[in-house]
Amino acid sequence: MKTLLRALVLPLALLLVAPAAAHAQVKIPAGTYEMVPDSNYSAGFDVAGIVVEFTETTMTASQAGTILVKSTTKMTGDVITLTDVEGQVACPSPATYKVTVSAKGVRMAPVEDPCAERSAVLAQVTFVKRG
C-alpha cells in the first residue's frame, strides 16, 4: 500500500512543483534605463529621450523632466503587474507583462493590458540600463 501511495503522490508532487520552477523569480535591476525602440517599431509614440527609472516597487517614465507615467510594480515570478498612479499617459487599468532580463536589457511582453497604447509601446522597446 505504501508503494502504491508513493507511486501516486510523487508524480502529483512533481506536477505541482514544475510550474513554479518554470516561472522563476525575475528581478529588474534598479536603476535608470533608456527606451530603445525595435527596428520595426510602429507604436506611433515617440520614445526618443524617454528615461525610465526602476526601483523595487515603481517604474517612472519621464521625458525632458516631465513625468509621463509613474506606476507601482509587483513582480510574481517572471510577470510584472503595472498600476499607473500618475502622469500624462497614465492608463486607468492595471496590466501584466512577462519580463525577460538579459545582457541586452529588459523586455516586456503583454500578458493582459486593456490599454492598447501602453501595450503597443512596451511590446516594441528594450529598456537599456544607463552606465
pLDDT values of the chain reduced to their tens digit, one per residue, 131 residues: 555 444 444 444 444 444 444 568 999 999 999 999 999 999 999 999 999 999 999 999 999 999 999 999 999 999 999 999 999 999 999 999 999 999 999 999 999 999 999 999 999 999 999 97
Residue 47 to residue 43: CA distance in whole angstroms: 9
Question: Which residues, other chains included, contact 44 with Cβ-Cβ below 8 Å and sequence gap of 6+?
Answer: 120
Per CATH, the architecture of 24-129 is what? Answer: Beta Barrel (2.40)
CB 62 within 8 A of CB 81: no
Q: What does pTM read for this prediction?
A: 0.81
- The DSSP 8-state label assigned to residue 27 in this structure reads -
Give the residue extent of every domain in the chain.
Answer: 24-129
